[in-house]
């Protein structure tokens, strides 16, 4: 029995699993893209290699998220979810890990992007 046979293709888990996988994917990708900023004294080449290794793990979540998600979501919906999840993960990451504060204008900008993304799901 393959792992894909264990993945639900209908019901609530069919909708929830891709979202959960995209959240995991985005946590890793955010660290791959921005985590090295706490280590600016490290050589750039080392940062690139570390980011590449982290991005590999990210792909191990992103590819199944899109594969399984395509059974219940359109590709436009999957991409839109990924972008909104990216903004949410990034907002938490920048405050908690990088110790940067978010401004109200950034919050409004993120909210407008999320509002625009909601149009993708409008039937």
Q: What is the pLDDT of residues 2-37, one digit of tens each?
A: 555 666 667 899 999 999 999 999 999 999 999 999
- Cβ partners under 8 Å of residue 95, min gap 6: 101, 102
Question: Residue 1 — very low, low, confident or very high, per pLDDT cuts 50/70/90?
Answer: low
23's tokens? 């959240």
Contact predicate 59/32, CB 8 Å: no
Q: What letter would DSSP give residue 11? A: S
Domain range for 108: 3-121
Residue with the bigger pLDDT between 53 and 2: it is 53
Q: Structural domain tally of the chain? A: 1
Q: What is the pLDDT of residues 59-116, one digit of tens each?
A: 999 999 999 999 999 999 999 999 999 999 999 999 999 999 999 999 999 899 888 8
| pTM of this structure | 0.85
Phi, psi of 19, deg, nearest 5: -65, -45
Rounded to 10 degrees, what is the CA torsion of 101, 59, 65, 78? 60
């Amino acid at each position: 029995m393959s792992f894909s046979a264990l993945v639900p293709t209908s019901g609530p888990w069919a909708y929830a699993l891709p979202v959960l996988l995209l959240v995991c994917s985005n946590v890793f990708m955010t660290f791959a893209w921005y985590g090295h900023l706490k280590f600016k004294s490290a050589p750039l080449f080392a940062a690139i290699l570390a980011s590449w290794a982290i991005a590999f793990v990210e792909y191990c979540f992103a590819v199944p998220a899109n594969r399984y998600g395509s059974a219940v979501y359109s590709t436009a919906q999957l991409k839109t979810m990924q972008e909104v999840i990216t903004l949410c993960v990034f907002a938490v990451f920048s405050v908690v890990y990088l110790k940067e504060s978010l401004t109200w204008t950034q919050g409004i900008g993120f909210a407008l992007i999320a509002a625009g993304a909601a149009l993708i799901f409008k039937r």
